[in-house]
Structure 1
Amino acid sequence: MATTPMVPPIPAAGNTTFEGNPAPPPPGTDMTGICFRDQLWLNTYPLDRNLVFDYFALSPFYDWTCNNEQLRLRSIHPLDISHLSKMIGTEYMLSELLEPHLFVFRKQKRDGPEKTTPMLTYYILDGSIYQAPQLCTVFSARV
């Protein structure tokens, strides 16, 4: 009797993948309680508008299937709107900045050159990366 090959289990959030990388959290996971900081990177590189996306891509908040990553693989700056506007899918945009202390990224879904739907917001404050809470969460919180 032939044996059926076992399909490896999908790693749970917090576990590692077969490559040793942390497994991405499942979609819809609330990550507002997570703070990411890579002090070695911050000691090595300046946190400015040219390198901030590379720093953000190190965090667990980064979606490796986004359009920005496709641009990075083609050696195009990942925040180049002239290329991003021609793509469809998930992307990150640098929406606000106050160099070198504050950078705000918006994760959005692009459905066309002029049509985007905001999904989540992340901010980097003095080198620490956070997910901003959604407005409905803020309103529903008890004061």
Structure 2
Amino acid sequence: MAATPNPAMGNANMDGGAPPTPPLPGTDMTGICFRDQLWLNTYPLDRNLVFDYFALSPFYEWTCNNEQLRLRSIHPLDMSNLSKMTGTEYVLSEAMEPHLFVIRKQKRDGPEKVTPMLTYYILDGSIYQAPQLCNVFASRLGRALHYISKAFNTTASKLEKIGYVDAENEAAASESKANKETIDFKEIKRVDHILTSLRRKLPPAPPAPDFAVGYAPPSTAEGEKGSENQQADPQPATVDPIIDQGPSKRMKL
């Protein structure tokens, strides 16, 4: 294994200044990022050296089983030795050299019994702690509730404005209706007055004409009976005695 800088010398950050006191391993450190540009410029970032680079970060726990293998000059990711030990350990779960490496922290209780604890990933030389699934759900739900509450507030404000406008329209409509009814009453009185004055000026209507003397309208029953007799007994057509007299006769001399 290639020699790497001594971790006891301290961790250098991006700006080259002294890093602040790191928090205890295992706590929530999703808000921080570690990057050692001097180390990245000196050594390649691959499967063999990625754990040495991870050991420089504040995410590394010095009491893990990997550190014991390093003290015995054994590669810290050797699974044949890690599976025989118990306690906290780090394993390389995924690697896409040289851009992405995923390191999982877990507790080993036996050769086949492990309990995952935390996950870290190295993206283009920067080390991050991956958030837990419960925190991701809580963050997404909080964001969704925030936008839902904002939408309800916006809708409520718009409905209040609509109700205010409707109230104003109803008040204006009631006022116009009252004014219209008042005007209609005045117009009705005016029209009645005009009609009364015209009726006084016009002469009286003439009386209805009487029927002629001796006129008697036929009764309905007799009219119907006469029509039935005409239909039952049709009379022959009358012949004109002047026209239809046969051939003309000459006088004999």
TM-score range, shorter chain: 0.7 to 0.9
Q: Residues of 2 paired with 1:73 and 1:23: CA distance? A: 24
Q: What's the C-alpha RMSD, in Å, of the aligned pairs?
A: 1.6
The runs of at least 4 consecutive aligned structure 1 residues that moved more than 4 Å come to 20-24
Matched, 1:56 2:15: no
Matched residue, 1:16: none
Report if aligned partners of 2:25, 2:61 keep a CA contact under 8 Å in 1: no
Identity of aligned residues (%): 85
Q: Residues of 2 paired with 1:29 and 1:74: CA distance? A: 28
Q: Residues of 2 paired with 1:28 and 1:92: CA distance? A: 12
Q: Normalized per residue, which structure has more helix?
A: 2
Amino acid at match of 2:79: I
Cα displacement string for residues 52-107 of structure 1 (whole angstroms, at most 9, x for unaligned residues): 00000000000000000000000000000000000000000000010000000000
Matched, 1:65 2:63: yes
Q: Normalized per residue, which structure has more strand?
A: 1
- CA apart distance, 1:37: 0.1
Q: Residues of 1 paired with 2:52 and 2:119: CA distance? A: 17
Secondary structure of the structure 2 residue equivalent to 1:83: helix
Structure with more relative contact order (C-alpha pairs < 8 Å, separation 6 or more): 1
Larger Rg: 2
Using the size of structure 2 for normalisation, the TM-score is: 0.47
Amino acid at match of 1:129: I
Matched, 1:89 2:87: yes
Find the partner of 2:126 among 116, 128, 134. Answer: 128
- CA apart distance, 1:136: 0.4
Q: Residues of 1 paired with 2:137 and 2:50: CA distance? A: 30
Q: How many pairs does the alignment contain?
A: 124
Amino acid at match of 1:115: K
Q: Residues of 1 paired with 2:104 and 2:90: CA distance? A: 6
Q: Residues of 2 paired with 1:21 and 1:75: CA distance? A: 28
Matched residue, 2:117: 119
Using the size of structure 1 for normalisation, the TM-score is: 0.82
